Structure 1
Amino acid sequence: MSAICVYCASGPVDEQFTDLAADLGRELATTGHTVVSGGGNVSMMGALAESARAAGGRTLGIIPRGLMEREVADLGADELVVTETMRQRKQMMDDRADGFIALPGGIGTLEELFETWTAGYLGMHDKPVVLLDPFEFYTPLLSWLRDLSTRGFVSTTALERLQVCDSVPTAVALATGR
């Protein structure tokens, strides 16, 4: 099966968001997919990995040495890769993933989402990029992006490249091409 990279928050968040991450981890595991994450064991990132393993799934965490303590590394990962830099981390996450799902998160999540989405739009990869947004967390961002499109800054093709959905099973199906 495929490996799906999940971008999400590693800082404290509301329980609805950690529950969403846990639901996604379980769904990926029960459908036979490896979870690729940023290698932290706290907040949404931790809930994602722990629920995937509890459901019998495989997890791959990739974390830069400088974040080992700050994000409390997921030492329970089936495979934990420690990189020297954030750039190496992101490159390895990209290389090891067959698809991407972004959950609610902060600037790190947004940066990862935009970089992966842009690379796909530019033809640097053909992997699915999915935004899972059941709580309308990204509604203001999506409205802004549509406005940028009407002004000619973001092409319709680029907008269509980002697949937005509101359910975990749909996100997994889109990210795995099923």
Structure 2
Amino acid sequence: MTGSVTVYCSSSDKAPASFFKAARELGNELARQNIDLVFGGGNVGLMGCIANAVMENGGRVRGIIPRFLEEREVAHYGISELHVVESMHERKMKLVEWADAFIVMPGGFGTLDELVEAITWRHLGHHEKPIILYNIDNFWTPLTDFFNTIATQNMVKPDHHTLYHVCTTLEEVRTFLTE
């Protein structure tokens, strides 16, 4: 059983409603499974939604936000722990360090950066933690298609897909969290 999961996701309040629904459901599930949420510390977008769902269901939430984003992302002061750090690098290191697994929900450039870094670090042997791409409404399909393209061009190994799991339902995500 996983003790804590870092969830990478959007800070946009304009994401599709289906993404917010999935974030609430995932937050509810994490709390039910007694799995701590580790996230970027914002009170907006999918980040705020999942953190609120975990907290509303009696779960534990640890946020990590760089000082320069504390105001911009409206830091979430209603969670179990909020850590304000000095840089994005420090935030990203703690998001990896404090996780037993990663779930990557839809997001923008920051989420993409965190995903690729987690995959790269796993590829290089820096960690062996599961990485779950939560492919809501096929959000990640163009990216996984691109990963296949770079594999056919011999830029990555043909077995690159073993570095991450693609899940389209909460039930599939649950399977990886409870193994």
Same fold? TM cut 0.5: yes
Aligned partners of 1:91, 1:173: CA distance in 2, in Å? 26
Question: Helix, strand or coil: the match of 1:97?
Answer: coil
For structure 1, the residue ranges without an aligned partner over 5 or more in a row are none
Matched, 1:157 2:159: yes
Percent of paired sites with the same residue: 40
Contact 1:27 1:169 in 2 (8 A): no
2:24 aligned residue (22, 25, 36)? 22
Q: CA RMSD in A?
A: 1.1
Residue 9 of structure 2 aligns with an amino acid whose one-letter code is C
TM-score, normalised relative to structure 1: 0.96
The match for 1:5 is 6
The match for 2:142 is 140
Aligned partners of 1:122, 1:172: CA distance in 2, in Å? 26
> Deviation of residue 145 (structure 1)?
1.0
Aligned partners of 2:68, 2:20: CA distance in 1, in Å? 24
Contact 1:39 1:62 in 2 (8 A): yes
Extract structure 1 runs of 4+ deviating beyond 6 A: none
> Deviation of residue 40 (structure 1)?
0.2
After alignment, is 12-21 or 165-174 more displaced?
165-174
After alignment, is 147-156 or 39-48 more displaced?
147-156
After alignment, is 151-160 or 140-149 more displaced?
151-160
After alignment, is 37-46 or 14-23 more displaced?
14-23
Contact 1:65 1:82 in 2 (8 A): yes
Question: Helix, strand or coil: the match of 1:35?
Answer: strand
For structure 2, the residue ranges without an aligned partner over 5 or more in a row are none
TM-score, normalised relative to structure 2: 0.95
Residue 116 of structure 2 aligns with an amino acid whose one-letter code is F
Aligned partners of 1:46, 1:173: CA distance in 2, in Å? 24
> Deviation of residue 177 (structure 1)?
5.5
Q: 1:163 to 1:97 in 2, by over 3 A?
A: same
Matches within 5 A, 1:17-166: 17-166=19-168
Aligned partners of 2:156, 2:124: CA distance in 1, in Å? 12
Question: Helix, strand or coil: the match of 2:49?
Answer: helix
Residue 6 of structure 2 aligns with an amino acid whose one-letter code is C
